[in-house]
Amino acid sequence: MNARGALGRYGEDVAARKLSEAGLRVLARNWRAGRSGEIDILAAEGEALVVCEVKTRREGSYQPPMAALTPAKTARLRSLAERWIAEHGGAPPGGVRIDLIGVTLPDRGAPRVEHARGVA
């Protein structure tokens, strides 16, 4: 795994831990739908399915993690969520939500985690 991949994996580990601590149940990580793309984390909050995009950056990076969700990425996540639902028994009673989790890694100290719910 290259340095960028390791950074992303670490950020996803931090995000999954924070989601669990907040009471969400992680259903899957790095779920792929062929060449269509990947959902970083799928979780359940009550009866809702939560599709989580995780963006990890080092402190001082050009773009903060919370600014990294583009309209194209949002459309791809919606499409992937539809595929997940089709493959896993239909839409959940609580609906589907897309969240963005930004993980910022300072030079020293613990990572900072921002969780934006329902970004798309």
pLDDT of 1 reads 65
Residue type (1 letter), 8: G
pTM of the model: 0.91
Q: What CA–CA distance (Å, rounded) separates 96 from 118? A: 9
**Structural class in CATH, domain 3-116:** alpha beta
pLDDT of 20 reads 97
**Torsion angle, CA of 117/60/106/1, rounded to 10 degrees?**
80
- 103 strand-pairing partners: 56, 113
Domain borders along the chain are 3-116
Q: What are phi and psi of 110, to 5 degrees?
A: -75, 150
Q: What CA–CA distance (Å, rounded) separates 55 from 53? A: 7
- 25-32 and 38-45 strand pairing: antiparallel
Residue tagged 């899957």 (tokens): 28
pLDDT of 54 reads 96
- 96 strand-pairing partners: 49
pLDDT of 64 reads 78
Low-confidence residues of the chain: pLDDT under 50: none
pLDDT of 112 reads 93
